[in-house]
Every structure is written in C-alpha cells, then in structure tokens.
Amino acid sequence: MQVLTWVASATFVVPALIWFWPHCARPALTARRAGPLTFGLVGALNVWGMVAAIIQAVLAVTGIGATPILFFVAALPWTLVVGLGYLFDEYGSLVRITGGR
C-alpha cells in the first residue's frame, strides 16, 4: 500500500510541477520583473520537487523504502518559497528580497 501511495504521489506531483512553471510561476515572475536569482531559485525548487518525488517512487518500488524525510526536505521549501510566495503576493516579496530588475 505504501508503494502505491508514493507512486501515486509522484504521478501527481511531477505533472503538476511541470504545469505550474509555464502557467503560474514564469508569468508571475516576468510580471514582477524578477531577476535571474529569483527565476533560478523558483525553477530550482520546482526541479528539486520533481526529482525528490521521482526518487521517492523509485525507492518505494525497488523495496529500499521511501523516507518521508526526503519528501519533506523537498516539499517544505517548495511550499514556503514557491507555493506561498505565489499564493500571497505573486512573488512580490521574493522579488524584493532577491532583488528585481
């Protein structure tokens, strides 16, 4: 059952993060005139979330056992920086912190 949970999670998370970049993150960052540091940070956290979800699924399928720690190490930064940053002010605060153009 746990294997199915991790595989289902990866099959949802990876396409969702792939969709999120061109439809939400990039347009909001472009509208805020974000600099390369902000683009890089948001993009890297998106990629890290996808990689962590895939690693979790592979670990579960191979029998090594998925660790929730890896999921939280990927999900917590993504949620705090990318998800909440977009939700609250469409990266306005993040652009001010990292320096916009």
Residues 4-56 pLDDT 10s: 888 888 899 999 999 999 999 999 999 999 999 999 999 999 999 999 989 88
The first and second tokens of residue 32, run together, are: 């805020």
C-alpha angle 77-80-44 in degrees, rounded to nearest 5: 45
Q: Taking the alpha carbons of 66, 63, 19, 100 in that order, is the dihedral positive or negative? A: positive
Supply the pLDDT for residue 59: 86
Please report, in angstroms and rounded to a whole number, the separation of the first and last CA atoms in the chain. 49
Beta strands in the chain (DSSP E): none
Token reading at 17: 């993060």
Question: Residue 99: which pLDDT band, with cuts at 50, 70 and 90?
Answer: confident
Question: Is the Cβ–Cβ distance between 70 and 55 less than 8 Å?
Answer: yes
- pLDDT value at residue 48: 94
Higher pLDDT, 96 or 64: 96
Confidence at residue 100, expressed as pLDDT on a 0 to 100 scale: 76
